[in-house]
Amino acid sequence: MIEEGKPAPDFELATDTGERVKLSDFRGKPVVLYFYPKDDTPGCTVEACGFRDAYAEFEQRGAVVLGVSPDDEASHTKFKEKYSLPFTLLADPEHQVADDYGVWGEKKFAGKTYWGVKRSTFVIDADGNVARVMHNVKPDGHPEQVLAALP
C-alpha cells in the first residue's frame, strides 16, 4: 500500500509517443500520477478533459501530469488526439505499475465482477515522495481537488 510521506515507487513505462519514461525523470517537479480504467470511456474522458482544461494551472505550479491506464500506446495516441490532451499518457498493459500502486483489483459494474484499474491519483512532491493519495475519485471536479493538494 502506498503511504503519504513515503517514496513513490519508481517505474518505467511507454508514453503515447512510444518513448520510455521513468517517474524519477521528473524529480525536481511535483507529479500528478492519475490512474484511470480505459481510454475514451465516459468517466475517463470527463476526467482527462478536466485535467486538460486545468492544465495551464498545473503548469503554473510546475507540476507534471501523467495519466496511466492499461491501454496501449496506439489507444493513448487516439485518445490524446481526439480530446487535445496536452499531457503524457502512459501505457501499463501488464498493469505492473497499477499493481505496485495498489490500484489494480476486483471491480463491480452493471452486476458483473471483473479486474481493472480503480480510479486513483497520487500527488508526488519534487523529492519523489507521495504527498497525497486519493482513491475512488469521481471524474467530475477531480482536477480541482488535485490542484488543491499540490505541495
Do 92 and 102 touch, CB atoms closer than 8 A? no
**Cβ distance 101 to 9 under 8 Å?**
yes
- Cβ neighbours around 118 below 10 Å, total: 18
Residue 113, beta-bridge partner list: 108
Active-site residue (options: 2, 32, 33, 44): 44
49 catalytic? Reply is no
Residues recognised as catalytic? 44
